[in-house]
Structure 1
Amino acid sequence: MNLIVDEKFWTIIAGVVALVTFLGSLVSLAFTAWRYTQTRRVEQEQLRFENYHRLIGELVGGVRENMNMKLDSQIAIVYELRNFFQYTPVTIRILTSLYEEWLPVERNKRLLEEMNLTLEFLIQSRRSWIKKLFLTKKDIF
């Protein structure tokens, strides 16, 4: 009888050890995956930060790789700024300031039009985000 109890006991212990080992492996895998995604997210944020500042520098400075920038390139940069949602407030301030600064120059007409469109898009996207945040079921139906 004692031998049977010992056999069951060791079978249960072996099962518990196997379960703990399996759970430990899962925790280790989950932590490694979480750490990897955190590292990638930080790298992507840094890259977006660098790209945003490079675009702003090229827009304001009008220079790309030691060459004067064409108006169409500046228009493309203004349009591209729509994709940097985390910088929307500062982008609105920068574009508004540049708009006022470049308004007297006649050759900037197309650029100013694109700045207006981008400003409208950014302001509208901020408003729609706020509306979505406070939208109720009553508003939907």
Structure 2
Amino acid sequence: MFKKLEIIFALLSIVIPLIALSFSAWKYVDIRESELRQQRYENYHSLVSKLAAAESNEEQLAVVFEFRNYPEYKSVSLRILSSLKKTWSRPESKDEISRTIEALQAN
């Protein structure tokens, strides 16, 4: 009888810390994913601001290219790019917008 209790307590002394460790690991991953989503959100909105305030054509093209790295914002990026394509006059700008639109639609 005591032998069985010893075995049960020994198993519980292993299982309970493993459960606590598993929960802690899951919670860490959950919090980290949330932080990364927030960081991506802030980075994307920073790009949009840079696009609106860009002083050079090269800077605008770089921001347009970077939109490809944010497929989670695909729908709004496509609307922004379509609008810019109508207003921008430089052929290389329109080409980069077209390539970025194609890349976003492929995802």
Q: Under a length normalisation based on structure 1, what TM-score does the superposition of the two structures give?
A: 0.72
SS where residue 94 of structure 1 aligns? helix
Matched, 1:39 2:19: no
Cα distance in 1 for partners of 2:46, 2:74 equals 16
1:19-58 aligned within 5 A: 19-58=11-50
Q: Decide which of 57, 60, 71 is 1:71's aligned counterpart.
A: 57
Aligned length: 107
Identity %: 34
Task: Identify the residue that residue 115 of structure 1 maps to in structure 2.
Answer: 97
Cα distance in 1 for partners of 2:13, 2:83 equals 61
Task: Identify the residue that residue 86 of structure 2 maps to in structure 1.
Answer: 100
Q: Under a length normalisation based on structure 2, what TM-score does the superposition of the two structures give?
A: 0.93
Q: Which runs of 5+ in 2 are unaligned?
A: none
Cα distance in 2 for partners of 1:70, 1:21 equals 64
Task: Identify the residue that residue 133 of structure 1 maps to in structure 2.
Answer: none
Superposed CA RMSD in Å reads 1.1
The alpha-carbon deviation at position 31 of structure 1 amounts to: 0.4
The alpha-carbon deviation at position 109 of structure 1 amounts to: 2.5
The alpha-carbon deviation at position 123 of structure 1 amounts to: 1.4
The alpha-carbon deviation at position 73 of structure 1 amounts to: 1.4
Matched, 1:10 2:2: yes
The alpha-carbon deviation at position 27 of structure 1 amounts to: 0.5
The alpha-carbon deviation at position 98 of structure 1 amounts to: 1.6
Cα distance in 2 for partners of 1:26, 1:73 equals 51
Cα distance in 2 for partners of 1:53, 1:101 equals 21
Return the index of the structure with the highest Cα Rg. Answer: 1
Superposed CA offset, 1:36-78 (max 9, x none): 011110010000000000001111222xxxxxx3211111111
